[in-house]
Amino acid sequence: MSILLKIYAHNGALYYRPLKTIIPEPINYFPFTAAQHDTNNIWTDQISGRSLTGSENHIAAGVYRIKNFDDGLLLNSYRTDTAVPLLRNYDYTSPAALLYGCALTIRIKPGQFEDYPMALCVLYGEKGEYNRNEKLVIAIEQRQLVVFYCAKGESNPERIETGVSLNPQHQWTSVGLNFHNNNGYGLAGVYISNQLMPLNIMRLKQFSGIYLFGFVSGDEEQYEDKVIATFNGAIAHAKLFNTPLVQAEFKAILDSYDDSTNNGVVFTQLEYKTELIEMFLDVKNNDKDNTPPPPPPDGNIGNGEQLPPNQPPSGNTGNSGTLPPLQPPSGNTGNSGTRPPLQPPGGSKG
């Protein structure tokens, strides 16, 4: 095997570099695949072998396979009948869950919870009292990337717009984040849609580590009347790097994925009796896809037998008997057993 090198001199020293595209090596890698789900090692780092839950062969609650798609998993939920995301962390009480790095690449398919911010990752800084640590929350809200800065000891986070939006025509989003530059630590830049955009939101006084998809247990944050939820949606190929990446490096890693392709059907599991409900991963364009649903199988379109449009002969709306959409026979809403809908600390619903 041969490698072409460029050799040059500077101040009496010789330097060389390979004449090819250099792909940086990750220091942590979590594929989030069906194979990992089946072998109970979802949260095991494929590079170090370390488990983020502090326990080997322990499958975290709230992680599900995607039907007909082996290259990603569903975290928490994709859609609920209450339109409220689930607030359920994996074992964040373990010190092993804290990661450290300066760049993250990941594929995501955010759940359909437009009104709630969902944490993609949380950067921790100075340690405060009573869990009021300094942190920078990088979240998805209304298909936009937003940042919440929580100063040490302060209870009201600052919301910062980034101007970065997810492509509404794409089924998945391959995104890269830089957490460090010459000005310190925070959200230095975002690579999305084949472009690296500098942001320079460098608010952290220090940098102690990263939690993926949520907070340290008991350290959740609330903005206005809503809790910042843990991430709900499909995830795949999370890689953490020890140095920030340039555009060419992000491109070499992320542009190999086809974000326009829909992959599989998400299943959400009702834990009380392991019943499954299908959650399709379709993106709807408000300007299109507004065609009415097809008529029932008997061909009746509402012009005879006094039936309203798009209803079967029984007069039922098609919601599986007399049950409302997406509910099990007991009427449970599917919010993880007897878990109530997500509520802010004050008890009022968001």
What pLDDT shows up at residue 93?
A: 56
| 28-265 fold | Jelly Rolls (2.60.120)
pTM above 0.85, yes or no: no
Q: Give me the tens of pLDDT residue by residue for the chain, a chain 350 residues long.
A: 556 666 766 555 665 556 666 678 999 999 999 999 888 889 999 999 988 887 666 666 788 888 888 999 999 888 887 888 887 666 555 667 889 999 999 999 998 888 899 999 999 999 888 778 899 999 999 999 999 999 998 888 999 999 999 988 788 999 999 999 999 999 999 999 999 999 999 999 999 999 999 887 767 787 777 788 999 999 999 999 999 999 999 999 999 888 887 766 665 544 333 445 555 554 444 454 455 545 544 544 444 444 444 444 444 444 444 444 444 444 444 444 444 444 444 444 33
Q: Do β-strands 233-241 and 69-75 pair in parallel, antiparallel, or remain unpaired?
A: antiparallel
Contact 148, 139 (CB under 8 A): yes
3-state secondary structure of 45: coil
What pLDDT shows up at residue 155?
A: 81
What pLDDT shows up at residue 279?
A: 53
Please say whether the dihedral angle defined by the alpha carbons of residues 67, 72, 74 and 79, taken in this order, is positive or negative.
Answer: negative
What pLDDT shows up at residue 310?
A: 46
DSSP 184-212: EEEEEEEEETTEEEEEEEEEESS--EEEE
DSSP 209-275: EEEESS-STT---EETTEE-EEP-EEEEEEEEESS---HHHHHHHHTTS-TTS---EEEEEETTTTE
Whole-angstrom distance, CA of residue 41 vs CA of residue 50? 10
What pLDDT shows up at residue 131?
A: 74
The whole-angstrom distance between residue 317's C-alpha and the CA centroid of its chain comes to 34
What pLDDT shows up at residue 242?
A: 94
255: Cβ contacts below 8 Å, ≥ 6 apart = 174, 194
Give the residue extent of every domain in the chain: 28-265, 291-319
What pLDDT shows up at residue 8?
A: 62
Whole-angstrom distance, CA of residue 173 vs CA of residue 251? 13
Give the residue from 263, 316, 287 showing the smallest Cα distance to 108.
263
For the record, the structure tokens of 183 come out as: 């000005």
What pLDDT shows up at residue 277?
A: 54
For the record, the structure tokens of 275 come out as: 């019943």
